């Protein structure tokens, strides 16, 4: 992660044609190589915000800069090469006759040779385990396969910024594991990953920083373990505490103060293991 913001949002407001004010003055920075979560209840403005990142929506007031480009003065076709958005419903992105054509269409504006396109298609289908569906209609795939194809159609363009809108909805355990792998691999390679999600446990496992939104505003922005331990903020955004946080608070109520930075199961297992070892030593009269 670099110290130079890749996305800069200043006092962003967005008004829909029907008069709905979706964003009421949002300001934030997102840095290259970050994994950032955007959370909040429905209607908070999350989806509107991410659509400004690739120019699908232009600010009513305020500014959005992506890699120093003011999106209000930049062609959406250019921004879409920099920012890829994988929407919640993959069927909103899929339209080609075959899986292969879906990838091919996504690549057509990159000025690649026919040989390079064919190579990229084969590589992408292999990575996303879609080779056997090459000639099948995207609409005959399962829900998980459609999601993989939607992600593949964005990832094949190699964007610098990847935005996922509710990536775990409708996914089984293997699908969620695959999405986690894709996110972590891209962040490791220096890509910036932005994730809109309601999935608390997924957030804890994958996302180090959270931006919480409510009623078109950012109400909290910081490390995941701090934000998701704050009852007042969670109540404001209609989110529930992670199970481990609830468990830690229950232990605290029983007189055992659990460190606030325990958020993962393996951390809790290690803590409890040490706790019971110390208790065992105490009972035997030894030093803890």
pLDDT at position 248 is 62
pLDDT at position 169 is 87
In 3D space, the residue among 65, 58, 55 whose CA is nearest the CA of residue 9 turns out to be 65
Question: Cα separation of 225 and 228, whole Å?
Answer: 5
In 3D space, the residue among 14, 43, 28, 21 whose CA is nearest the CA of residue 238 turns out to be 43
Q: Is the pLDDT of residue 67 over 70?
A: yes
pLDDT at position 241 is 65
In 3D space, the residue among 156, 104, 162 whose CA is nearest the CA of residue 127 turns out to be 156
- Which CATH number is 5-241 given? 3.40.50.300
pLDDT at position 244 is 61
Residue range 182-219, pLDDT digits in tens: 999 999 999 999 999 998 889 988 999 999 999 999 99
Q: Is the pLDDT of residue 103 over 70?
A: yes
In 3D space, the residue among 173, 174, 155, 156 whose CA is nearest the CA of residue 164 turns out to be 155
Residue range 155-192, pLDDT digits in tens: 999 999 999 999 998 888 888 999 999 999 999 999 99
Please report, for residues 53, 67, 110, 227, 280, the alpha-carbon distance to residue 189 in angstroms, rounded to integers and kept in the order given: 21, 18, 21, 27, 46
In 3D space, the residue among 125, 104, 100, 130 whose CA is nearest the CA of residue 116 turns out to be 104
User: Across all residues in the chain, what is the average pLDDT?
Assistant: 88
In the chain, where the domains are located = 5-241, 242-288
pLDDT at position 14 is 98
């Amino acid at each position: 992660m670099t110290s130079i913001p890749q996305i800069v949002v200043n006092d962003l407001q967005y008004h829909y044609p029907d008069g709905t004010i979706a964003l009421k003055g949002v300001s934030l920075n997102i840095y290259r190589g970050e994994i950032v979560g955007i959370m909040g209840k429905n209607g908070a403005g999350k989806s509107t915000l991410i659509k400004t990142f690739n120019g699908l929506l232009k600010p009513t007031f305020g500014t959005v800069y992506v890699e120093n480009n003011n999106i209000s003065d930049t062609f959406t076709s250019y921004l879409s090469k920099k920012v890829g958005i994988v929407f919640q419903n993959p069927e909103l992105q899929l339209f080609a006759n075959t899986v292969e054509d879906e990838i091919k269409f996504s690549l057509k504006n990159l000025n690649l040779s026919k040989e390079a396109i064919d190579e990229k298609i084969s590589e992408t289908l292999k990575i996303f385990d879609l080779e056997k569906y090459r000639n099948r209609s995207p609409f005959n795939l399962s829900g998980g396969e459609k999601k993989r194809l939607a992600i593949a159609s964005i990832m094949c363009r190699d964007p610098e910024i990847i935005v996922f809108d509710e990536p775990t909805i409708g996914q089984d355990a293997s699908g969620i594991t695959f999405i986690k792998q894709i996110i972590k691999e891209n962040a490791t390679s220096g890509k910036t990953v932005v994730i809109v999600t309601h999935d608390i446990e997924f957030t804890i496992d994958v996302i180090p920083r959270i931006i919480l939104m409510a009623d078109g505003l950012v109400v909290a922005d910081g490390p995941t373990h701090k934000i998701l331990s704050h009852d007042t903020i969670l109540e404001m955004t209609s989110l529930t505490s992670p199970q481990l946080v609830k468990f830690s608070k229950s232990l605290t109520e029983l007189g055992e103060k659990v460190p606030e930075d325990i958020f993962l199961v393996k951390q809790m297992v290690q803590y409890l293991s040490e706790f019971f070892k110390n208790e065992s030593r105490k009972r035997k009269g030894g030093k803890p």
